[in-house]
Amino acid sequence: MSQDPLLEVEHLTTIVHADGGKVHAVDDVSFSIGRNETFALVGESGCGKSLTALSLMRLLPDAAEIRSGSVRVDGEDWLSMPELRLRDRRGGTVGMIFQEPMTSLNPVMTVGRQIGEALVRHTDLRGKAMRERTLDLLAQVGIADRQRRYGDYPFQLSGGQKQRVMIAMALAARPQILIADEPTTALDVTIQAQILELMRGLQRDQRMSVLLITHDLAVVSEMAHQVAVMYAGHLVERAPRDAFFAHPAHPYSQKLFAALPGRSRRARRFSVIKGAVPPLNGRFTGCRFAGRCESAAPICTQTAPPWTRLEEGHQVRCHFAHEIQARWGKGEAGVPVTGEKATDHPTQASARPQPSELLTVSDLKVHFPIYKGFLKRAQGYVKAVDGVSFQIQSGRTLALVGESGCGKTTVGKAILRLIRATSGEVRFQGTSILRLPEARLRPLRTDLQIIFQDPYASLDPRMTVGSIVEEGIAALRSELGRSQRAQAVERILDQVGLPPASEGRYPHEFSGGQRQRVAIARALAVAPRLIVCDEPTSALDVSVQAQILNLLKKLQDDLGLAYLFITHNLAVVASLAHEVAVMYLGRIVEAGSAEEVLDSPRHPYTQSLLASAPVIERVRTARSPSAQGEMPSAIEPPPGCHFAPRCAHAMPVCRERYPGVTPLHADHSVRCHLWPAASSSPNPA
């Protein structure tokens, strides 16, 4: 517990009334946050982190109630406070950034009015003074062109801008405590870096305390002073940040570290947490993690472990805390080298037969017309993809990396002809497919498949899993009879780690990771050669992400699949990819082997992506600056190099003409005026 607590939570218990009984979503949770301190609450989805925050604010849904415990903010008891008085404290004393800014912002109110509401409620500002304070807040959170954005609606803002507006609303009344619920989960690494730096600066300037709710250990490493790990509604470990990252002591905490992707995992499969989180509608007699713990003993299932003190401020709920902490093996940057040795990995290309060229994309362009006027004539174009070229070889993974809006997903869909390309060529095994008649393209659909970003949105909620997987087989492999299709479905579900009983269940009955396995099974059903993976792990917890990445690696090893892996997660790229292409505003700016691009990045944008990604125990010297601002519009891209307005190294020539391709090595090229085409030495200018 903190020596000078501003927030004190003691034995907080919140239950949710559900059809299956009372769910103990938050069970006997205690912690405190000191003044000007960041306290990180860590755990997987469903462990009770967000419900803990909502309990502190007394913003629970109708089905939930606080059963017991106390919450004191600066000495005041919030749980016994009348609702009318509490409304003044919410936002005034404690502000909150909700997880989903798009669903938290009112879509029919302008940004200025929404921030103004908070000011009206918690300050005496009105009229011109309120408008000036709102504009100051927009400037404070880094919103460019604040006068125009004041009158914009949420749908007119990017994801990073919406998150900044949420922060401005939370800070309007200068709260003492800021609750940030997954504030960067859906953001690109560059925008994430800006938001985290913004929060650090605001905390420093206003001397706020922060309750940071996240499942991203790298973000915790950069932001937190104190850390608490939550599992199944229960805190299982509390520690100062340095002690936690040096010696995590609970088996669950260690498993979270072992599941992290990164360069140290290139030669190994990810360690996964077997089983599932136990249901919370019953009472526990032993350790809640016992059923998934490799170190569990009979006492673990019979007796709930008490808090064990390891050192100053470091406590853990585990019967064997000292022994388990002593077994913590360190690798690079304090992260353990664990996990099964992979049979193949991106750095062992020589272990395979020489791969053959499978897909070639040449000067691909996708321009969407902008229609205006009474006659709806094209007045301009959104140049979503503007001259992209790359190759993918059989059995290998090309990672297409970049921020949201750069055109990555459009490239994947254009290759599969899910959207129409404007020009260019796509050749699959030597056959040009962009202009093939549909009748001739149909047989190729068995070789080219896609895994969409959101499995819940891409799976028909009215169809069972068996029907979803069988649908593609029936459409594209008509030679198979009913019994053969049934056998194929059973075999494919087994391949992706789903039991046969899954066939009769519907998508809503599965977890996020299981739904992603269903999406992978659907793609595998027709025995493809190439799969476009569109951000397949972006919405998953680290342990579930590890399972999916292991599955994709195994399927590639067993079946020789090639992947176009679309992502902005560079840690995943380092773990999975053989080649990397970095995309910015419709064009590829750097491409090459994963080792070359990630270990020796040459384009300032690639360098900024790597600099922006939070890393546990990152070395904080000699790093390139993170890109500032957000990506320009694809309707009117900047003249010359599109990255020049955000580039710390921009020269006059960068604003005059777009750079050509400079080959650096046989497997590494870049488009940047810092690297002249005639030399592999940087431009001295």
Position 623 confidence tier, pLDDT thresholds 50, 70, 90: very low
Greatest C-alpha distance within the chain: 77
**Beta-carbon count within 10 A of 104 CB:** 18
**Residue-level pLDDT at 26:** 96
| Joined tokens for residue 651 | 């020269």
**Residue-level pLDDT at 654:** 96
**Residue-level pLDDT at 254:** 93
pLDDT at 286 over 50: yes
Q: Give the integer Cα–Cα distance in Å for 101 and 600.
A: 36
**Residue-level pLDDT at 282:** 81
Calculate mean pLDDT across residues 68-83. Answer: 95
- Alpha carbon 85 to chain centroid, angstroms: 37
Place of tokens 């405590």: 177
User: Residue 486 is which amino acid?
Assistant: A
User: Minimal CA–CA distance to 599: which of 332, 263, 268, 260?
Assistant: 263
| Joined tokens for residue 211 | 């309750």
State the Cα angle at 246 between 601 and 594, rounded to 5°: 20
| Joined tokens for residue 124 | 């005496």
State the Cα angle at 298 between 295 and 304, rounded to 5°: 90
**Residue-level pLDDT at 345:** 43
pLDDT at 332 over 80: no
More confident position, 74 or 262:
74
Q: Give the integer Cα–Cα distance in Å for 547 and 499.
A: 15
**Residue-level pLDDT at 253:** 95
**Residue-level pLDDT at 455:** 79
Q: Give the integer Cα–Cα distance in Å for 679 and 662.
A: 8
**Residue-level pLDDT at 265:** 62
To 10 degrees, what angle do helices 189-206 and 159-171 make? 10
Phi and psi torsions of 590, nearest 5°: -155, 140
More confident position, 179 or 458:
179
pLDDT at 681 over 70: no
**Residue-level pLDDT at 430:** 93
**Residue-level pLDDT at 546:** 87
Report strand pairing: 587-593 vs 579-584. Answer: antiparallel
| Joined tokens for residue 441 | 């393209």
Taking CB atoms within 8 Å and a gap of at least 24, the contacts of 52-57 are 52/9, 52/12, 52/14, 52/26, 52/213, 52/230, 53/96, 53/179, 53/181, 53/211, 53/213, 55/12, 55/14, 55/26, 56/7, 56/9, 56/12, 56/94, 56/179, 56/211, 57/90, 57/94, 57/96, 57/179
Beta bridge partners of 365: 386, 423
- Alpha carbon 404 to chain centroid, angstroms: 12
**Residue-level pLDDT at 95:** 94
Calculate mean pLDDT across residues 165-179. Answer: 92
| Joined tokens for residue 238 | 């509390």
Q: How many CA atoms lie within 13 A of 309 on its CB side?
A: 4
Phi and psi torsions of 212, nearest 5°: -100, 120
More confident position, 479 or 226:
226
How much of the chain exceeds pLDDT 90, in percent?
Answer: 60
Place of tokens 């080792």: 595
Calculate mean pLDDT across residues 550-575. Answer: 91
Q: Give the integer Cα–Cα distance in Å for 506 and 9.
A: 39
SS3 content of the chain, % helix, strand, coil (to 5): 35, 25, 40
How much of the chain exceeds pLDDT 70, in percent?
Answer: 92
**Residue-level pLDDT at 281:** 85
Position 620 confidence tier, pLDDT thresholds 50, 70, 90: very low
pLDDT tens digits along 273-283: 887 788 888 88
* Radius of gyration from C-alpha coordinates of the chain: 26
Phi and psi torsions of 606, nearest 5°: -60, -45
- Which domains occur in the chain, in start order? 98-174 (no CATH), 243-341 (no CATH), 349-447+528-670 (3.40.50.300)
pLDDT at 335 over 60: no
> Which 8-state DSSP code applies to residue 682?
P
Q: Give the integer Cα–Cα distance in Å for 372 and 419.
A: 22
pLDDT at 619 over 70: no
User: Minimal CA–CA distance to 185: which of 362, 44, 20?
Assistant: 44
pLDDT at 221 over 70: yes
- Alpha carbon 366 to chain centroid, angstroms: 26
Place of tokens 């502190």: 56
- E-strand spans in 74-225? 76-77, 94-97, 177-181, 209-214
Render 204-248 in DSSP notation, one character per residue: HHHT-EEEEEES-HHHHHHH-SEEEEEETTEEEEEEEHHHHHH--
Find the range with the poorest average confidence among 229-233, 343-347, 527-531, 658-662.
Answer: 343-347
Instruction: Report the chain's mean pLDDT, rounded to a whole number.
Output: 88
Position 268 confidence tier, pLDDT thresholds 50, 70, 90: low
Residues 6 or more apart whose CB falls under 8 angstroms from that of 230 comprise: 29, 41, 42, 43, 47, 48, 49, 52, 236
| Joined tokens for residue 635 | 């309707």
pLDDT at 684 over 50: no
**Residue-level pLDDT at 682:** 54
Burial state string for 166-194 with b = 16 or more CB within 10 A and e = fewer than 16: bbbbbbbbebbbbbbbbbbbbbbbbbbbb
Q: What are the Cα distances from residue 585, in Å, to 116, 210, 268, 636?
A: 34, 35, 34, 11
Q: Give the integer Cα–Cα distance in Å for 56 and 30.
A: 12
Beta bridge partners of 94: 90, 177
Calculate mean pLDDT across residues 652-664. Answer: 95
pLDDT tens digits along 501-543: 889 999 988 877 788 889 999 999 999 999 999 988 876 788 8
Find the range with the poorest average confidence among 42-56, 295-309, 315-329, 367-381.
Answer: 367-381
**Residue-level pLDDT at 337:** 42
User: Minimal CA–CA distance to 466: which of 490, 445, 491, 496?
Assistant: 490
Strands of the 448-451 sheet, one edge to the other: 448-451, 530-534, 562-567, 397-401, 579-584, 587-593, 668-670, 662-665
Render 414-469 in DSSP notation, one character per residue: HHTTSS--SEEEEEETTEE-TT--HHHHGGGGGTEEEE-S-HHHHS-TTS-HHHHH
**Beta-carbon count within 10 A of 328 CB:** 15
Find the range with the poorest average confidence among 231-245, 256-270, 435-449.
Answer: 256-270
Q: Give the integer Cα–Cα distance in Å for 612 and 219.
A: 11
